[in-house]
Amino acid sequence: MTKQLVKGNEAIVYGALLGGATHFFGYPITPASEIAHAAALYFPKTGREFLQAESEVAAINMIYGAAGAGGRAMTASSGPGVSLMAEGISYLAGAELPCVIVDIQRAGPGLGNIWPEQGDYNTVVKSGAHGNYQNVVFAPASAQEMCDFTYQAFEIADKYRVVVFILSDAYIGQMMEPIEIPNTPREGDRKDWALYADAESRKNLITSIFMNQQIQSDHNKKLQNKYRLIEHELLAYEEEETDEADVIFVAYGICARICYTAMEELRTLGIKIGMLRPQMLFPFPSRPIQQLAQKVKKCIVVELSDGQMAVDVKLAVNGAIPVLEYNWMGGVVPTVKEIVERVQQDMKGGAK
């Protein structure tokens, strides 16, 4: 392992290259631009392909072509760019083409601003475009996880033939931290369904269009069965101080880091609080949250959105305990002090 001090955005590129990425197509956008910059530097140096597309629409369709030809393709953007990619992402899911997409979230809606937000949760976790499909979604909370999750993402994308998202935020992307770089490079195997422009693969067909209703219906059912399999086989989350907790935080990304420090301070003040941090948002850790709801008195969901993840937490809790929503939007990020004071007030007041 080699340790380096890098931004979270640059750590994405290290993880991608060592994870076997072969193609990067992208269009710069703040606060994700460092990913394209680093890819432009390192992909050609390692014999991979980098191309700055003329738009996000072009980039996602380039990924369709490269993935269909057996490549391990990726792109990176922020909310406005991911919105432009929506149709192409649905096409990739429909054609079962594996790829990796990074979304470094910023404030919206509209052009918004370049400060952190988590308002893309529904777009990415709930598919966000036409049709019945799901993305596998990682939620890193550090530069190390930006590297590690991207390193893992290409294996998962290839195994299940799905789109894998790395859903992060502007603070995690811009934060510089020391990371351990994996020392075992990976490469993708030849895919028996891809088109390699040779006699062996000539019979293969890559498409997301089926003009017969029953065939299209059967294809949808096949996809849903795959997503249920993924829910069964993939799950990633962390628990902190939950064994004897009366209340728990549920948070991801930068909010999880803030909540971790707030949790430590609150415990010194006599409040028994723990935390569950989803490292994956699909599959969502519904069962672990449900199990914790049998032991704790309250759950506090902290997120930089209008409560998008809180909906999934409430479904998991199923009314067993109150779920409090601590929401910030527009690029406003809470301090540890704000969260500590709000928890103290809610614990005294018996907030619902």
- Domains within the chain, CATH numbers bracketed: 2-233 (3.40.50.970), 238-349 (3.40.50.920)
pLDDT digits (tens, 9 = 90+) for 325-336: 999 999 999 999
Report the SS3 class of residue 17. helix
Tokens of 227: 């997503």
Nearest to 86, CA basis, from 163, 138, 1, 159: 163
Task: Report the C-alpha gap between 326 and 141 in whole angstroms.
Answer: 18
> What pLDDT shows up at residue 261?
98
Task: Report the C-alpha gap between 135 and 154 in whole angstroms.
Answer: 13
**∠ CA 146-149-153, rounded to 5°:** 130
Whether residue 143 contacts residue 177, with contact meaning beta carbons closer than 8 Å, is answered with yes
Nearest to 77, CA basis, from 114, 126, 128: 114
Q: Which residues of the chain have pLDDT under 50?
A: 351-352
> What pLDDT shows up at residue 2?
75
Whether residue 140 contacts residue 146, with contact meaning beta carbons closer than 8 Å, is answered with yes
Specify the pairing of strand 298-303 against strand 73-77: unpaired
Burial group, residue 198, by CB count within 10 angstroms (0-12, 13-18, 19+): exposed
Tell me the longest C-alpha to C-alpha distance in the chain.
Answer: 72
Judge if the upstream peptide bond of residue 28 is cis by omega within 30 degrees of 0.
no
Per-residue burial over 2-28, b = 16 or more CB atoms within 10 Å of its CB, e = otherwise: eeeebbbbbbbbbbbbbbbbbbbbbbb
> What pLDDT shows up at residue 34?
98
Tokens of 113: 């601003």
> What pLDDT shows up at residue 128?
86
> What pLDDT shows up at residue 348?
86
Other Cβ atoms within 10 Å of 102 Cβ, number: 29
